[in-house]
A and B are shown apart, each in its own frame.
Chain A
Amino acid sequence: MSAILLIAVPLLAAFISILVKKVSPYLLLLVSLFALVYPFFMDMSDVIIGGFDSPIGINLVVNKFALTSLIAVNGLFFLVVAVNIAQYKKLSSILLVALAGLNGLLLTGDLFNLFVFIEISGIAAYLITTTNKKPLQTFNYLVAGTVGSSLYLLGLIILYNMSGTLNMADMATFVEGNGMYTLFPFLLMFIGLGVEAKLLPFNSWVKGILGHSNNLSGAMIASVYATAIALVFGKLLAGVFQIEGTLALIIALVLGITILAGEAMAYASTKAREILLYSSIAQAGIVILLFTVGLGAWATFFAIANGVSKFILFGVVNRLTEEVGSDEMDQLKGSFVNNKLIGVSFTVAALSILGLPLFFGFVVKMNSLIGFFEPDFVSNLPGGNFIFPIIILVASVIEGVYFVKLLTKLWYKDSDVKVNFTPLFKYVVVVLAVALIVFGLFQGEVEELVASLINPGGVFIWN
């Protein structure tokens, strides 16, 4: 069974769902379950669409990397939908389109097709964030997103003019030799995707969107979209992009500032959601950094671990804010006292982001850092091999301080606010927390899983 069904079926369901409004939520649940289960059965061959092979037609790249990212993104998508569908019935067809867009994003092998799918998932994202009842913030997000994708398209067209092809693999071979001509288009594409991937100078929309997020939009943008965009951007950075000269300097600056400023901003904010959104900006910066530097395999699992943790964190904080009314840390204090299960999973997620032992975050962060110190590792970014690990470590210290402050406020202050979580949400959150612990304990198996993403030469297989 070819991988194209992952995109075709949600689209078909979306078109049908606007007719039969009543049944569309169940359709959404069914299709997203299908999207989660199908990757395990589909055959692993590249899919050609419309009968014409790559230079002329469009092909879908299906390999271990695509498979892992599909399972992760569809898994998180299914969980977000399962937990929030009761509250947001109206959005089911938009969510179906978003599912199609995300799967298309992860699978497509053609750069222009990638632009189309970025637009699809982008517009679906704008519509999901309209549920925050903040039209101005969504407007900003729309403007930023459109500018970003237009610049991406401009860069793509310039590259097409030079290389004559739109396919990723052919483009990579074309760019191999003459990297110094393609600096400007790659910068444009970097900015285009950077807007969606929340890198610092381009992410002024993030505060508006995630700062006022609700149960659905918070979890969707912060965990599902963030993971998908990071993985796709990573695939491009690892495979297609040729980063050298001033482009490397700019990318290094952007990533360095994103990580450090992200943590500093989180440290400076007192609202719970703001802390989480700035920390996710910093995490996005780290993931993109790992992809750029060539440690793609562990970067994938870093993005997935971060996605899972952010799902729990945003889900819990949004639910608390909904009940308590404001997400100011002092109002939320003591809310774990009378729901311990949620509190424990929240703590597990937070500690996993910090990279503390016994959790998946530790395995991922350690191996990524070890990647920097491999004897034969050469970083294509300026500043030698050791400047970025130092940045990551300093960032984790700052991150640790504000997360501990948040945790102690939530656990150890006593308050009378009684927040009840739906049993489904509790079940999902606990399952994810246990997953984080299990993945953290069985490090051997995780390493085997990662090894499958790297070819014997240690280079990350992206197509």
Chain B
Amino acid sequence: MELSIEIFILATLAFGLMAYVIGRLHKQLGSIMTILGSLTIFGGIAYLGFTGGLTGETAYLTFTQFEISEFGLFFAIIVSFVFAMVSFFNPFFIKQYKYPALYSMLFMFSLAGAIGVFFSSNLLYLFFFFEFVVWTSLFLIPMGRSKKAASWYYGFSAAGSFMLLFAILMIYNANNGSFHISGIGSVTGTTQIIVFIFMSGAAFTKLGAFPLHIWLPKVLTNAPDPVSAVFSGGLEKLGAFVALLAIVNMGGIGFIIPSIDMYFGQMIIATLGALTIVFGTLMAIRQDDAKKLLAYSSMSNGGYILVGFSMLTSQGVAGGLYHIVAHAIASTAAFLAIAAVARVAGTTKMKELGGIIHKMPVTYMVYLIAIISMAGIPPMGGFISKWMIFQAVIDKGMIFIAIATVFGSIGSFLYVFRPLAALFLGQELPQFKKTVKEAPFFMLLPMIILSLLSVYTGVLPGVIIDFINKIFVDMQLNYNIVMNGFAIEGYTSGIEGVGPSLLNPLLIACVFGVGVFVAFLIFIVLKKSKKIDLMDTYTAGNFVYTEEHLHYSVDFYAPLERLYEKYIHIMKNFYKSLANKVREFGAFMKYFFFTNKPEITVFWIVALMVFLLWGDVL
């Protein structure tokens, strides 16, 4: 069955408009439309994608051309899957929004834009869809808590997308007048360097990587809960897509550094990626708001993707791609879990929450599996991608990047555990005893699917590794990941007699299962323990009656935070001062040029004439 991708984009737009029209009549129905819409789109793309039924010819949107590429399909499936899962939450959150119908429409429009970006082969119309996503998602943010986040978001993503535009136009100029996507590869000399710098700039802004990350925590904290899930799971992958084009598709940039045989350009990207990881982890550890913490975690995971891509080895790039899948699933699940809690408890501040597990155990399990994958612990998908990225980093022998990646993964244990302990576990606060109840079935369904997927990608990586290999073939990169049986082969060492380092996730899962079974046996065999109330705890001496005093969730990592407390606002202050400089420049010009006295104009006229004649006469 053949269907052009253009039909899908138009269908999504049509769904959006339908959602708007129905949304005006009845809020809930409108948001249910978004569920139907995104599910059909995801189903369609995934099914046709795998059976090769997608074609690129355009009947209606004649000004642009589409081309079904493997990596386009890869991203499209992930993003539409994330949209589909998150759309399940829309009906439950629609009541909080000022413009519910508009919300559903823009939700579908940003999906349409994203799909457009991944499949368009004409660079200018890649930018067209890129900008389309920016402004449609822009109006989703203010529906949440703060209004300032929207202008920060637009400022950074406009800067990013205009950098992308400048790069595209440089390519257009270099390949004398062609916008085809293959033009990226065929750029050489200084234009290649300029294009590389600007495109990675665009990727950095969209991914929220180090130098340009200020908007990510602001937006993901203040946007409505489903929107932040969509942002961190889906829209961030646009940045990864551009990063793939910029870093991998263009090949090495600049001279090769002999000791670690890496291109200079890629080295810079890797270092910035490492800084993103470290900065993201440090900031995440000290956050009190769960959503802000997850925002910084998706920032640091973005750093992993960048480090992976910039290794330019099969392990590295595959690790990056795999990490995109694992991170998309894990962070969407985590955000949805926090959203479920926020819907019922009203706040995501860890200070005010505690002991949600007793009323929402399933959400807790979903969140547990999500953070295990985000921290990169074995049975889950995150481990495999981090393992591959470590392999690549060590194979290149890059010590400082290695330190950053290790610090990032160990640090992720800390910051993922913090919401677990403060939000879910610990004393059950009285005010939540009555109000909090388990999320309804339709909210649990996507979360459970995401967790199962997390486990699946962790245990049986076969399908995704084949897809990644197909991408490498499609992008004419001579990379390949060897799979023998269920194990992934790491890089082969120089020393003979020593086989390649193997990772058999299925085996690890079984062994872990066996271990847990044995522990369970031990537990069951022994005497049954008496269940006692949570309040009845071993407190030396004085007895405490109120739950709040027995719940430790305020500044959880105090000793660690004290170490770097002074430096956390460097980047934010830098951008604030930049904005102020523009404002001061504007105010000065206003004061200087726009007084009520006409002599300013005459003065400048005389000045310009003197300036011209001076050169001419003398």
Contacts and interface: CB of A to CB of B under 8 A. Distances in A.
Interface in B268-320: none
A413 to B, nearest CB: 7
B274 to A, nearest CB: 28
Contact of A264 (B142, B143, B147, B586): B586
Nearest to A442: B63
B173 A261 contact: no
A358 B607 CA distance: 44
Interface in A86-125: none
B578 to A, nearest CB: 11
Contacts of A140: 596, 598
A354 B151 CA distance: 14
A189 to B, nearest CB: 12
B172 A370 contact: yes
A261 B139 CA distance: 28
A208 interface: yes
Given A408-B150, A412-B98, A246 B586 contact: no
A200 B593 contact: yes
A366 interface: yes
Given A147-B602, A246-B616, A398-B582, A201 B172 contact: no
A444 B605 contact: no
B615 A246 contact: yes
Given A202-B601, A267-B586, A408-B150, A137 B596 contact: yes
Interface string B581-597: 01111110110011110
B596 A136 contact: yes
A261 B124 CA distance: 29
Nearest to B172: A373
Contacts of A373: 169-170, 172-173
A267 B583 contact: yes
Interface in B559-618: 579, 582-587, 589-590, 593-596, 598, 600-602, 604-605, 607-609, 611-613, 615-616
A269 interface: yes
Contact of A187 (B176, B601, B608): B608
Contact of A204 (B582, B595, B615): B595
B173 A147 contact: no
Nearest to B125: A357
A393 interface: yes
Interface in B32-67: 62-63
Contacts of A11: none
Interface stretch (B128-136, B341-349, B500-508): B128-136
Contacts of A401: 151, 154-155, 158, 579
A389 B169 contact: yes
B158 A204 contact: no
A11 B125 CA distance: 48
Interface string A124-144: 000000000000110010011
A254 B154 CA distance: 28
Given A144-B601, A184-B616, A246-B611, A357 B131 contact: yes
Interface stretch (B159-167, B355-363, B451-459): B159-167
A375 interface: yes
Interface residues of A, number: 72
B392 interface: no
A443 interface: yes
Contact of B613 (A184, A357, A362, A408): A184
A443 B63 contact: yes
Given A373-B173, A389-B166, A411-B142, A204 B612 contact: no
Contacts of B602: 147
Given A187-B609, A191-B608, A351 B135 contact: yes
A266 to B, nearest CB: 7
Contacts of B138: 404
A358 B147 contact: no
A371 to B, nearest CB: 10
A385 B582 CA distance: 25
Given A246-B616, A408-B142, A268 B590 contact: yes
B154 A444 contact: no
B165 A369 contact: yes
Nearest to B600: A204
Q: Which of A143, A254, A268, A362 has the most CB of B within 10 A?
A: A268
A265 interface: yes
B258 interface: no
A21 interface: no
B601 A195 contact: yes
Contacts, number: 175
B541 interface: no
A254 B608 CA distance: 10
Contacts of B608: 187, 191, 201, 250, 254
A340 to B, nearest CB: 8
B440 interface: no
Given A267-B582, A401-B155, A204 B601 contact: yes
A404 B162 contact: no
Nearest to B13: A358
Given A140-B596, A183-B612, A246-B612, A201 B155 contact: no
B575 to A, nearest CB: 11
A402 B132 CA distance: 19
Nearest to B153: A404
Nearest to A403: B154
B177 interface: yes
Contacts of A356: 131-132, 134-135
Given A246-B612, A358-B132, A369-B169, A268 B586 contact: yes
A268 B589 CA distance: 10
A207 B99 CA distance: 35
A17 interface: no
B476 to A, nearest CB: 26
Contact of B128 (A247, A357, A444): A357
A261 B586 CA distance: 6
Interface string A247-278: 10010001000000101111111000000001
Contacts of A396: 158, 162
Interface in B254-276: none
A409 interface: yes
B316 to A, nearest CB: 32
Given A202-B605, A246-B615, A261-B589, A400 B155 contact: yes
Given A147-B605, A389-B169, A397-B158, A269 B150 contact: no
A202 B124 CA distance: 37
B594 A204 contact: yes
Given A357-B132, A398-B582, A409-B147, A370 B169 contact: yes
Contacts of A443: 63
Interface of B: 62-63, 98-99, 124, 127-129, 131-132, 134-135, 138-139, 142-143, 147, 150-151, 154-155, 158-159, 162, 165-166, 169-170, 172-173, 176-177, 579, 582-587, 589-590, 593-596, 598, 600-602, 604-605, 607-609, 611-613, 615-616
Given A136-B596, A404-B154, A443-B63, 10 more contacts: A143-B598, A246-B615, A268-B590, A357-B132, A362-B131, A393-B166, A396-B162, A401-B155, A411-B99, A413-B147
18 contacts: A136-B596, A204-B595, A204-B598, A205-B598, A205-B601, A246-B611, A264-B582, A264-B586, A356-B131, A373-B173, A374-B173, A393-B165, A396-B162, A397-B162, A401-B579, A404-B154, A412-B147, A444-B62
